[in-house]
Chains A and B, each alone.
Chain A
Amino acid sequence: EPEVTQTPSHQVTQMGQEVILRCVPISNHLYFYWYRQILGQKVEFLVSFYNNEISEKSEIFDDQFSVERPDGSNFTLKIRSTKLEDSAMYFCASSNTGQGYEQYFGPGTRLTVT
């Protein structure tokens, strides 16, 4: 069964450093998403991406965040200057039936900012 993959599974970084989280969505999917989940809290939408551009972003997705689809398979989330409060699980998801419809999540990257 096709699945979304993410690397690394765990990233530890120092405050102020840049991190890039990587995702490989399901191959025939067209819509891509990033979410975060702070430990013990709800899943929060960050950004959606379609046709090589951002479709929507939340208020969390400020100027320190960016997304890119550098080739036909990868989808990345970059955090330019990490803060302690960026520590969370970051999930990538993809779907093939339009925004808001069934999404398939990757296993997540646990980001720890020290």
Chain B
Amino acid sequence: RKEVEQDPGPFNVPEGATVAFNCTYSNSASQSFFWYRQDCRKEPKLLMSVYSSGNEDGRFTAQLNRASQYISLLIRDSKLSDSATYLCVVGPRGGSYIPTFGRGTSLIVHP
């Protein structure tokens, strides 16, 4: 099982749609979880941290399910500008602080 696994997509949705991505991780000792956004040929940008209690930032909601070892990202009222690749990042693991990136889920929002 890959350490951090994401459905690569692409998810092709109309403006205004709600879309959700999941990310599974293999190491139960993982302590911190993040969603990053990466535009084509650009750097990853932190979107939000994911806390045990879940967190919301405007149209974005992130959830953590430790029992099933996955995190999720929900985007409501999709905008054209949300089109990007969404990276799941998990870390640390065990005694290490090395973050592990997923390959990303591609989102395309169309008019």
Is A68 an interface position by the 8 A CB rule? no
For A91-114 the 0/1 string (1 means CB < 8 A from B) is: 100000011111111111000000
> What is the chain B residue whose CB lies nearest that of A42?
B103
A102 interface neighbour in B34, B97, B100, Cβ under 8 Å: B34
> What is the chain A residue whose CB lies nearest that of B45?
A105
B43 interface neighbour in A44, A101, A105, Cβ under 8 Å: A105
A89 to chain B, nearest CB (A): 8
Docked complex Cα distance between A105 and B102 (Å): 16
Quick one: which of B18-41 are within 8 Å of A by CB? 31-32, 34, 38, 41
In the complex, the answer to whether A42 meets B97 with C-beta atoms within 8 Å is no
In the complex, the answer to whether A91 meets B97 with C-beta atoms within 8 Å is no
For A10-44 the 0/1 string (1 means CB < 8 A from B) is: 00000000000000000000000000000001111
Residues of B within 8 A of A82 (CB): none
B49 interface neighbour in A45, A102, A105, Cβ under 8 Å: A102
Residues of B within 8 A of A (CB): 31-32, 34, 38, 41-46, 49, 87, 91-92, 96-104
Residues of A within 8 A of B (CB): 41-45, 48, 55-56, 58, 89, 91, 98-108
Q: A48-B98, A91-B44, A104-B46 are in contact. List 5 more A-B contacts (CB 8 A).
A: A41-B103, A48-B97, A100-B32, A100-B97, A103-B46
